C-alpha cells in the first residue's frame, strides 16, 4: 500500500514539474479596432465626456474608430515619425474638446517582435513632448500580442481605461505607466 502511494506521489510530482515547463499560452491576436471597442465598452460610466474615434476621414462619435491617416499619426497621436512605417493598423478614441484630457490609441505592428522598441519610443515621445494647452497627468502603455495600446490624459480616465483593458484582456502586458507632470 505504501509503495502504491509513493508511486502515485512520484507520478503527481513528475506531472506537475512537466507542466511547469510548458510555454505560456499564446496571446490571442485581436484586430486593433475590435480590441479598442471592447476596452472602451468596459470603461466606467463616470466620468462621462464627449469623445470621437478615428481620424478625420473615418470619424465616429462616442467610440473608437479606425485611424488610417498616416501623416496625422505624428501630430494627433504623438507617434514619432520613425515609427509610422511600423504600424499595420490603428484605432483611436479621444476627448472631443481637449485631446490632452484623454487620447487612446491601439496600434497593430507589422512586426510583432518590435513591441518593446516601439513601446519605449512611444514612452520617450510622450515624456519629451512639448505639450500645448496643459500637460496630461498620466500615461499607460501596454501590449497584447503585437498590439500596443498607448493612452494619456487625466489620471482618472487613464486608470479607468487601463483597468478596463486588464479586465477585457487578462493577458495584457503593462509595459510603462507613469506621470507626465
Q: Could you tell me the maximum CA-CA distance found in the chain, to the nearest angstrom? A: 77
Give the integer Cα–Cα distance in Å for 169 and 28: 9
Q: Tell me the three cell numbers of residue 160.
A: 479607468
Torsion of CA 94, 97, 100, 105, to 10 degrees: 10
pLDDT tens digits, the chain, 181 residues: what are they? 555 444 334 444 444 544 554 444 455 679 999 999 999 999 988 767 899 999 988 899 999 999 999 889 998 999 999 999 999 999 999 999 999 999 999 999 997 768 999 999 999 999 999 888 789 999 999 999 999 999 999 999 999 999 999 999 999 999 999 999 8
For the beta carbon of residue 59, count every other beta carbon within 10 angstroms: 12
CA–CA distances in Å: residue 145 to residues 95, 112, 115, 152? 26, 7, 8, 21
Which residues sit opposite 52 in a β-bridge?
Answer: 61, 94
Where are the strands (E) in the chain, listed by range?
A: 51-53, 60-61, 65-66, 87-95, 102-109, 138-144, 147-153, 173-179
Q: Tell me the three cell numbers of residue 47.
A: 466620468
Is the pTM higher than 0.85? The answer reads: no
Amino acid at each position: 500500500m505504501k509503495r502504491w502511494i509513493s508511486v502515485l506521489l512520484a507520478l503527481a510530482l513528475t506531472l506537475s514539474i512537466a507542466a511547469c515547463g510548458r510555454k505560456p499560452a499564446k496571446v490571442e491576436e485581436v484586430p486593433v479596432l475590435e480590441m479598442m471597442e471592447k476596452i472602451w465598452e468596459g470603461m466606467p460610466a463616470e466620468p462621462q465626456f464627449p469623445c470621437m474615434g478615428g481620424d478625420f476621414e473615418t470619424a465616429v462619435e462616442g467610440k473608437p474608430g479606425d485611424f488610417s491617416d498616416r501623416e496625422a499619426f505624428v501630430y494627433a497621436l504623438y507617434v514619432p515619425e520613425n515609427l509610422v512605417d511600423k504600424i499595420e493598423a490603428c484605432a483611436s478614441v479621444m476627448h472631443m474638446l481637449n485631446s490632452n484630457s484623454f487620447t487612446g490609441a491601439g496600434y497593430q505592428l507589422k512586426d510583432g517582435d518590435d513591441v518593446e522598441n516601439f513601446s519605449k519610443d512611444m514612452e520617450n515621445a510622450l515624456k519629451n513632448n512639448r505639450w500645448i494647452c496643459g500637460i496630461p497627468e498620466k500615461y499607460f502603455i501596454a501590449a497584447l500580442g503585437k498590439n500596443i495600446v498607448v493612452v494619456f490624459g487625466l489620471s482618472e480616465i487613464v486608470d479607468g481605461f487601463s483597468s478596463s483593458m486588464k479586465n477585457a484582456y487578462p493577458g495584457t502586458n503593462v509595459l510603462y505607466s507613469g506621470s507626465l507632470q
